[in-house]
C-alpha cells in the first residue's frame, strides 16, 4: 500500500497522484467532531480502517463506536484502538466506545462501516464440502456460487436489521459496506432500506496498481476507466501518455500462458490473463475468485493445471481450509500489538473509507469506485447495457453533497454479458433472502455459471436442499 488516491475533479476518471506518506489530504477543514461506528468491529479490517480515519488531516476530535456480538474480541479491539489513538497523539479529542448493543452505538452516527461475518466459521465447511460432493469445486466461495449464496442468505437478514436500526437512529448517516457478498447486500439495501449505502472494495485500486507494475509505468501516471460489477469490473481503457497499454499486456499474457514468462515472479494469475486475451480487457478480482464466476475453468479437475494454481490463484477449498487459521492468527496478532510486540506504525492506506469521510466532511472532491444501483438521478442508467435494478461498480464523485456516481455508458457486449450471467444469480439470491424462501435460492444456483457447468438441475436442487438442512440452525424461517 504505497499510493493513496487523490481526487482530480477536472478529469473524467480516477487519478492517483500522491503517495501514502504524503498526509496533506484533501483541501478544506473539518469544523465538527466525527462520529464513526464500525459494526463487526472484530473484523481484520478494523485496525487499519480506524488508523486511516485517525490520520485524516484536520480530524481533531471524534467518537469511534465499536460493535461486535463477540464480547471477548470486542474487548480486545477496544483496547487496541485506544492504544492506536494514544500512539497517534489523538487521545485528547477522540473517544473510543465499545458495545454489543448496536442501537446504543448507532445513535448520532455520521458514518457506519459494516464488516460483519454471520455464522461463517460455523458454516464454512458446509458451504464448501456439500457442493464439492456434487462436483462444484470452489476456491473462496463468498461472493457467488453455493458458498456465496448461502453466505448471502445468512447475512442479508442481519444486514437489513442493522439498516432498520440505522433508519430509526441515524437516518442521515452514510453506510460504507465492506461485507461480501457485496452485490447481494447492496441490492437488498436498495430494494428495502431508506439508508444511503455504498459498497466498497479494494479490487479496483489494487488491480490498477498491479497493471501499472506489469506495464512498467508509474501508477500515478496511469490513465484508465473501469466499470462493471463488484469483482467483475473491466479496465475498458488503460493508457499512459496516450499509449494503449494493452498490446504489451497481451504479449506478456501470451508468454505466461505458453509457459515462457517474461517475468517468472509474475507468471501466475492465469485466469485473468486468459480472460483478458479472450474478452479484451482485464478484470478486477484475483484469478481464484474469478474462476468461480465463470463456467470455463473449474468444472474439469483434469484441466485445473492449465489455469489454476494454489491459494488465491484458484486452489480447491482454499478459503474453507485456511480461514479458521487466519482468524486465529488475526486474534494472536492483536494480542501481540497490545503487548507491544508487533508495531502499529501504518501509513494511511488506499482503502476508500477514510477518503470518503474526509471528502464529505471537508466538502472536497474525491473520486473512487463504488457499488450502487444502476440508475442516474434523471432516470437513466450508469451502465447502459446492464439492468436497471442491479448493482454496478462505477466511478463516483463524493463531496459535501454525498456520493454521485458517474454514468459510464455501455460496456463492450461480451463484457456486459459476463456481468449479466452473475447478476441473475444475485437477483434470485436477494429474493430468497428477503422473502425467506428456498425456491428462489434453488433457481439462483441453477443459473450460477459454475454450478450449472457442473450439475444438472435435479442435482442442483438436491444440493441446495442439503445445504439448507445442514445450515438450518443458521437459516431460520426459510420456507
Q: Rounded CA gap, 103 and 19, in Å?
A: 38
Closest CA to 291 of 271, 311, 277, 276: 271
What is the CA angle 118-122-123, rounded to 5?
A: 80
Query: What's the DSSP call for residue 341?
Result: S
The C-alpha cell that represents 73 in the structure block = 474480541
Q: Which of 202, 289, 311, 443 is catalytic?
A: 202
Closest CA to 47 of 325, 343, 356, 326: 343
Measured CA to CA in angstroms, residue 169 lies from 95, 172, 197, 416 at distances of 20, 9, 15, 39
In 271-286, which positions are buried (b, 16+ CB within 10 angstroms) versus exposed (e)? Answer: bbbbbbeeeebbbbbb
Query: What's the DSSP call for residue 394?
Result: E
Q: DSSP letters of 181-198?
A: SHHHHHHHHHHH--SEEE
**Ramachandran class of 434: left when φ > 0, alpha when ψ lies in -120 to 50, beta otherwise:** alpha
Query: Alpha-carbon Rg of the chain, whole angstroms?
Result: 22
Q: Rounded CA gap, 352 and 167, in Å?
A: 24
Is 202 designated active site? yes
Cα-based torsion angle of the residue sequence 435, 432, 157, 142 in order, rounded to the nearest 10 degrees:
-170
Closest CA to 298 of 321, 270, 324: 270
Cβ neighbours for 367, distance < 8 A, ≥ 6 positions apart? 5, 7, 8, 9, 13, 14, 15, 395, 396, 397, 398
Element (H, E) at 75: helix 71-87
Measured CA to CA in angstroms, residue 178 lies from 119, 357, 444, 454 at distances of 17, 15, 23, 30
Q: Are 351 and 202 in contact (CB under 8 A)?
A: yes
- Catalytic residue ranges: 202
Amino acid at each position: 500500500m504505497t499510493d493513496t488516491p487523490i481526487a482530480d475533479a477536472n478529469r473524467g476518471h480516477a487519478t492517483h497522484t500522491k503517495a501514502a506518506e504524503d498526509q496533506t489530504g484533501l483541501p478544506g477543514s473539518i469544523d465538527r467532531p466525527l462520529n464513526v461506528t464500525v459494526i463487526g468491529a472484530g473484523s481484520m479490517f478494523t485496525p487499519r480502517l480506524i488508523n486511516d480515519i485517525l490520520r485524516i488531516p484536520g480530524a481533531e476530535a471524534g467518537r469511534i463506536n465499536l460493535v461486535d456480538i463477540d464480547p471477548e474480541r470486542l474487548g480486545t479491539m477496544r483496547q487496541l484502538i485506544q492504544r492506536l489513538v494514544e500512539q497517534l497523539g489523538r487521545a485528547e479529542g477522540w473517544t473510543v466506545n465499545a458495545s454489543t448493543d448496536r442501537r446504543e452505538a448507532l445513535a448520532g452516527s455520521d458514518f457506519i462501516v459494516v464488516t460483519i461475518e454471520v455464522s461463517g466459521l460455523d458454516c464454512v465447511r458446509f458451504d464448501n464440502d456439500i457442493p464439492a460432493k456434487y462436483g462444484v469445486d470452489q476456491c473462496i466461495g463468498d461472493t457467488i456460487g453455493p458458498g456465496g449464496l448461502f453466505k448471502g442468505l445468512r447475512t442479508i437478514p442481519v444486514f437489513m436489521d442493522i439498516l432498520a436500526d440505522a433508519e430509526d437512529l441515524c437516518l442521515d448517516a452514510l453506510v460504507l459496506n465492506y461485507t461480501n457478498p457485496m452485490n447481494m447486500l447492496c441490492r437488498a439495501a436498495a430494494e428495502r432500506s431508506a439508508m444511503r449505502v455504498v459498497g466498497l472494495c479494494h479490487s479496483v485500486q489494487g488491480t490498477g496498481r498491479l497493471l501499472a507494475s506489469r506495464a512498467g509505468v508509474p501508477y500515478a501516471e496511469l490513465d484508465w476507466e473501469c466499470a462493471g460489477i463488484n469483482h467483475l469490473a473491466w479496465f475498458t481503457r488503460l493508457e499512459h501518455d496516450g499509449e494503449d497499454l494493452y498490446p504489451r499486456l497481451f504479449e506478456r499474457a501470451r508468454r505466461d500462458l505458453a509457459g515462457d514468462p517474461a517475468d517468472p515472479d509474475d507468471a501466475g494469475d492465469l485466469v485473468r490473463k486468459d480472460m483478458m486475451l479472450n474478452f479484451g480487457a482485464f478484470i478486477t478480482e484475483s484469478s481464484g475468485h474469478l474462476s468461480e464466476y465463470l463456467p470455463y475453468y473449474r468444472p474439469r479437475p483434469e484441466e485445473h493445471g492449465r489455469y489454476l494454481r494454489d491459494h488465491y490463484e484458484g486452489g480447491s477449498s482454499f478459503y474453507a481450509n485456511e480461514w479458521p487459521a487466519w482468524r486465529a492468527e488475526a486474534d494472536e496478532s492483536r494480542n501481540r500489538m497490545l503487548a507491544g510486540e508487533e508495531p502499529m506504525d501504518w501509513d494511511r492506506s488506499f482503502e476508500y473509507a477514510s477518503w470518503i469521510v474526509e471528502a464529505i466532511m471537508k466538502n472536497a472532491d474525491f473520486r473512487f469506485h463504488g457499488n450502487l444501483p444502476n440508475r442516474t438521478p434523471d432516470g437513466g442508467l450508469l451502465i447502459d447495457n446492464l439492468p436497471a435494478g442491479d448493482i454496478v461498480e462505477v466511478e463516483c464523485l463524493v463531496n459535501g453533497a454525498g456520493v454521485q456516481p458517474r454514468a459510464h455508458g455501455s460496456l463492450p457486449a461480451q463484457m456486459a454479458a459476463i456481468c449479466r450471467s452473475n447478476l441473475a444469480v444475485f437477483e434470485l439470491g436477494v429474493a430468497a433472502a428477503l422473502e425467506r424462501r428456498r425456491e428462489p435460492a434453488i433457481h439462483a444456483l441453477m443459473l450460477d455459471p459454475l454450478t450449472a457447468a457442473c450439475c444438472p438441475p435435479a442435482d442442483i436442487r438436491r444440493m441446495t436442499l442439503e445445504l439448507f438442512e445442514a445450515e438450518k440452525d443458521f437459516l431460520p424461517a426459510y420456507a
